[in-house]
Amino acid sequence: MDMHLLMIGLQVVHVGMASFWLGTIVLSDVFLWPAMQAMGLKTQVQQGLLRGPLAKTMYVVATGTVLTGYLRGWAGGAFDHLYSLYGVFFVLAGLLGVFATVWWLCGRARAGPGRTVWLCSMAGMFLLMIGLRFTAP
């Protein structure tokens, strides 16, 4: 298989999973949780979702997003450029991706200061990924 086609395929899967993950976060944080909070149902709904199929789907999507990001970097030659700005951005984005995923999977990203830490790590990772587009070798 051509490495270029593999990289494109991995990018499509990575961006698709990341978009799904981000979309569920925006939907829940902006619309669902405030409405549920106003009705006094937020805790019940969150606990129900954490035990249902959505939780398993999100675990797969979160982990898959990070894994396909690393694989896409490998297919695109990021590991050959670790000492460049591109490589530094790739490593930092990857580390933030792993941190954000583990933080989220452990349940620390659901409320309070843990949520703020998680959102900041996601924003940092996203900014680094944008930086990757401008520093690619």
CB 125 within 8 A of CB 97: yes
The CA radius of gyration of the chain, in Å to the nearest whole number, is 17
Q: pLDDT tens digits for the chain (137 residues)? A: 687 889 899 999 999 999 998 898 888 888 888 898 899 988 888 888 878 888 889 889 989 999 999 999 888 888 999 999 999 999 999 999 899 888 888 877 777 888 888 888 888 998 998 998 899 88
3-state secondary structure of 76: coil
Q: What's residue 1's pLDDT?
A: 62
Report residue 36 as tokens: 């549920």
Cα 76-124-43 angle, rounded to 5 deg: 115
Rounded Cα–Cα distance for residues 85 and 93 (Å): 12
Query: How many folded domains does the chain comprise?
Result: 1
Report residue 82 as tokens: 């670790």
Q: What's residue 10's pLDDT?
A: 93
Look up the pTM and report it.
0.81
Q: What's residue 76's pLDDT?
A: 85
Q: What's residue 85's pLDDT?
A: 93
Cβ neighbours of residue 68 closer than 8 Å, sequence gap 6 or more: 10, 13, 14, 17
Cβ neighbours of residue 85 closer than 8 Å, sequence gap 6 or more: 131, 135
Residue range(s) defining the domain that contains residue 90: 3-135
- Tokens 């993950």 belong to 21
